[in-house]
Amino acid sequence: MKINVMLVSKQERNLTAMRQLIIDDEIAVVGESEGGATALDKIENISPDIIIMTLSAGDTDVLNLAERVILYRPMIHVVLLTEYMDINILQSAMKIGVHNIIEYPKNAKDFSDYVKSVYHNETARIKALNQKQNLSWMSRVITVFGAKGGLGKTTIACNLAVKLAANNKKVALIDLDLQFGDTHIFLDIDPKDTIAELMNESFAANIDVVRSFMTVHSSGIHVLCAPKSPEYAEMISAEKIHTLISLMRAYYDYVIIDTSPFFNEVTMNAIESSSNVLFVTGLDISILKNSKLSLSLLNSLQQTDKVRLIINRAVEMSSIKISDVQEILGYPIWAKLPSDYKVAVTSLNRGIPFVLSDPNSKIAQSIDSIANILLNGEESVAVGLDKGISHKKRKLFGSKRK
């Protein structure tokens, strides 16, 4: 579904300039007007999602029109474009309740990203207004970790982020698999900037700077992609990650973090800054060995109360049963995802998360359940690591294993 935009300006050259700025597949220009009463008729007939109007100093017509839209058609979002921003223009826009006013953008990509994020933020705000109960202010940082490559961490991180956004949450996804991160492939986005460029910037205490380095996905999630080349990974300091997460936490409802399969300082910092760690494991002996070691490390760092164990590719025929995992790792299983190669790989190859492309599949529904638990608040279910393991299961880790 495209975002339908209507353009309003008295000057034909401004309309042309705006048209040239909107070249995004997800945004459609559905109408144009020079303003005044005819603009109201047009708005009524085409019901755009967003109206973009140009505003010059002293342009009371535009301000009147914007005010009427804001008061009488609050579902339609207003964006004002101005040649240059000064305090008088800002004050007059604020007085009539305009939330979104920017200077003429320098390039089409920035403008499209801006329009998309206005649409998603304003839609979320209006839906929240319609809800009876107050929404929680408390944002959550969720790190998806697993002690081996290929466990399904990125699959879970991307699908979960998209699903939470579909529930009108403001969601950020950070790809902290700094060398080989591939969230942009799972989501089929082409990031202009990544975390590497952001880290070169002094972004302290400014979420707007951080956001300008993120890429907006059509689902509404904001993605801070991994560097474009592995050698940039070492430039990214763990301390800066902590600052970054704190900044994002104040702005987003959910910050989802994808990680590499290794414990490094960056991953540890992310885990320490997280509310929960979705710890992905699987039904094979090598994964379980690594998972056991990683959980011990998390235990020694007092991070285990955050751990929520997820078994991915849970198949009943495996020689290791799901109940065995619980006993071996000493943790209750919090969620499991079925194995579905066809849906998972088709979705990856097409760059469309399966919660969107295949919402009725069992694997998508498992993500829905995880999202629902997070959205509704959940009991703390983690137990300590020191639970006794039976002799039979101990053998799984014994040196005499054949």
Taking CB under 6 A as the criterion, the residue among 194, 218, 339, 361 binding ligand ATP is: 339
| Radius of gyration of the CA atoms of the chain, in A | 24
- Contact between 167 and 372 under an 8 Å Cβ cutoff? The reply is no
- By DSSP bridging, strand 3-8 and strand 254-259 are unpaired
Q: Does 261 bind ligand ATP (CB under 6 A)?
A: yes
* Region near ligand ATP per CB under 6 A, out of 66-74, 101-109, 144-152, 370-378: 144-152
Taking CB under 5 A as the criterion, the residue among 82, 92, 112, 154 binding Mg ion is: 154
Closer residue to Mg ion in complex, CB, 118/355: 355
- Tokens in use for 230? 């592995």
Convert residues 359-388 into a mask of x (bound to ligand ATP by CB under 6 A) and - (unbound): ----x-------------------------
Task: Count CA atoms within 13 Å of residue 84 on its CB side.
Answer: 1
User: For residues 119 and 117, what is the distance between their CA atoms, to the nearest angstrom?
Assistant: 5
Q: Hey, which residues does 144 pair with through a beta bridge? A: 258, 278
* Region near Mg ion per CB under 5 A, out of 17-25, 118-126, 148-156, 221-229: 148-156
Q: Does 155 bind Mg ion (CB under 5 A)?
A: no
Taking CB under 6 A as the criterion, the residue among 312, 335, 352, 370 binding ligand ATP is: 312
Taking CB under 6 A as the criterion, the residue among 150, 230, 332, 384 binding ligand ATP is: 150
Closer residue to ligand ATP in complex, CB, 48/261: 261
Closer residue to ligand ATP in complex, CB, 55/266: 266
Q: Shortest Cβ distance from residue 153 to Mg ion (Å)?
A: 5
Q: Shortest Cβ distance from residue 143 to Mg ion (Å)?
A: 13
Q: Shortest Cβ distance from residue 175 to ligand ATP (Å)?
A: 10
Closer residue to ligand ATP in complex, CB, 92/267: 267
42-63 as b/e: b if 16+ CB within 10 A: bbeeeebbbbbbbbeeebebbb
Terminal CA-CA length for the chain: 55
Q: Does 304 bind Mg ion (CB under 5 A)?
A: no
Closer residue to ligand ATP in complex, CB, 249/313: 313
User: For residues 14 and 37, what is the distance between their CA atoms, to the nearest angstrom?
Assistant: 19
- Please state, in angstroms and as integers, the Cα–Cα distance from residue 314 to each residue in 35, 323, 363, following that order: 59, 11, 10
- Contact between 183 and 173 under an 8 Å Cβ cutoff? The reply is yes
Taking CB under 6 A as the criterion, the residue among 46, 85, 315, 345 binding ligand ATP is: 345
Nearest Cα neighbor of 31 from 17, 13, 43, 16 is 43
* Region near Mg ion per CB under 5 A, out of 150-158, 233-241, 355-363, 387-395: 150-158
* Region near ligand ATP per CB under 6 A, out of 39-47, 142-150, 168-176, 287-295: 142-150
Query: Residue 77: which of ligand ATP, Mg ion, none does it interact with, CB under 5 to 8 A by kind?
Result: none
- By DSSP bridging, strand 222-224 and strand 215-216 are antiparallel
Rounded to the nearest 10 degrees, the angle between the axes of helix 362-376 and helix 341-350 is: 80
Closer residue to ligand ATP in complex, CB, 122/340: 340
Dihedral angle computed from the Cα positions of residues 156, 160, 161 and 162, in that order, rounded to the nearest 10 degrees: 110
User: For residues 158 and 175, what is the distance between their CA atoms, to the nearest angstrom?
Assistant: 10
* Region near ligand ATP per CB under 6 A, out of 109-117, 153-161, 192-200, 385-393: 153-161
Q: Shortest Cβ distance from residue 296 to ligand ATP (Å)?
A: 20
* Region near Mg ion per CB under 5 A, out of 74-82, 98-106, 151-159, 320-328: 151-159
Q: What is the DSSP string of 133-195?
A: SPPP---EEEEEEESSTTSSHHHHHHHHHHHHHHTT--EEEEEE-TTT--HHHHHT---SS-H
Q: Shortest Cβ distance from residue 157 to ligand ATP (Å)?
A: 8
- DSSP conformational letter for 46: H
Taking CB under 6 A as the criterion, the residue among 33, 143, 155, 273 binding ligand ATP is: 155
Q: Hey, which residues does 314 pair with through a beta bridge? A: 338
Closer residue to ligand ATP in complex, CB, 84/341: 341
Q: Shortest Cβ distance from residue 183 to ligand ATP (Å)?
A: 9
Chain residues in the site for Mg ion (CB under 5 A): 153-154
